[in-house]
């Protein structure tokens, strides 16, 4: 299929994603080129398919990460008005940390991206993987990228930033419903990118792009079918 964009190197992978119209904006392409997927995928890092990272979690296929970033981009890039607040982005189900890193490359020097995992070992994995590059270590030390443990279905509130909401929320696992907490924590305007189950068994799922306008009105758009691991309790609960 056209979206199969595997390559022999990180640049090959990103160029193929662009060639197959999975990456269209040059800013998105530049961000992906800065993040070597070999630091995040356990094997065959430049293949365009998902991989297990343990704990019943996966690192999504690169074309899915590209789609998420392209859809969220207007709410990721720093605002044109320098007096506006910097971007705040929430990455729920951050897993390997790969997408968290890409998002952090886009939000600007004053922006913040917080990756949330419900399993401590996965939180640690994301932070460890990001620390494999000088760029990643710089993002961590500056606080531009952060990893936390929590129930992503309830969103996340950073200590000391309780009144702040999120410009963009990405969810990397399929939810049984569109959780009210996520909508409540979304800025107006803001955007949520989330896979949601179509049926009780989770056998059918679709990506939903959910926009909240400046007046707080919410609009939902169903994008395309997907297959994600579920957004659930941590194993053993």
Say which of 5, 44, 60, 138 is annotated catalytic: 60
CA distance 205 to 227: 6
Residue 60: active-site member: yes
| Secondary structure of residue 222 in the 3-state scheme | strand
CA distance 118 to 88: 20
Side-chain half-sphere exposure of 229, counting CA atoms within 13 A: 21
Side-chain half-sphere exposure of 63, counting CA atoms within 13 A: 19
| Secondary structure of residue 34 in the 3-state scheme | helix
What proportions of the chain, in percent to the nearest 5, are helix, strand and coil? 30, 25, 45
Q: Tell me the chain's radius of gyration from C-alpha atoms.
A: 16
List residues with catalytic annotation.
Answer: 60
């Amino acid at each position: 299929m056209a979206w199969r964009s595997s390559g022999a190197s990180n640049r090959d992978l990103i160029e193929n994603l662009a060639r197959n119209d999975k990456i269209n904006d040059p800013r998105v392409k530049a961000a992906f080129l800065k993040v070597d997927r070999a630091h995040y995928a356990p094997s065959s890092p430049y293949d365009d398919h998902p991989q297990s990272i343990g704990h019943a979690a996966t690192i999504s296929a690169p074309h899915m990460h590209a789609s998420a970033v392209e859809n969220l981009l207007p709410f990721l890039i720093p605002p044109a008005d320098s007096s506006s607040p910097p971007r705040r982005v929430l990455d729920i189900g951050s897993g390997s940390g790969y997408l968290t890193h890409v998002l952090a490359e886009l939000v600007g020097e004053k922006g913040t991206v917080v990756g949330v995992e419900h399993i401590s070992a996965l939180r640690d994995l994301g932070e460890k993987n990001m620390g494999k590059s000088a760029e990643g270590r710089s993002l961590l030390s500056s606080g531009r990228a952060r990893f936390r443990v929590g129930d992503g279905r309830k969103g996340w509130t950073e200590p000391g930033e309780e009144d702040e909401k999120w410009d963009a929320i990405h969810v990397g696992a399929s939810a049984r419903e569109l959780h009210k907490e996520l909508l409540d924590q979304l800025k107006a305007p803001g955007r949520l990118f989330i896979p949601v189950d179509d049926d009780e068994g989770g056998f059918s799922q679709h990506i939903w792009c959910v926009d909240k306008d400046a007046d707080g009105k919410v609009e939902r758009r169903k994008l395309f079918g997907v297959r994600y691991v579920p957004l659930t309790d941590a194993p053993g609960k």
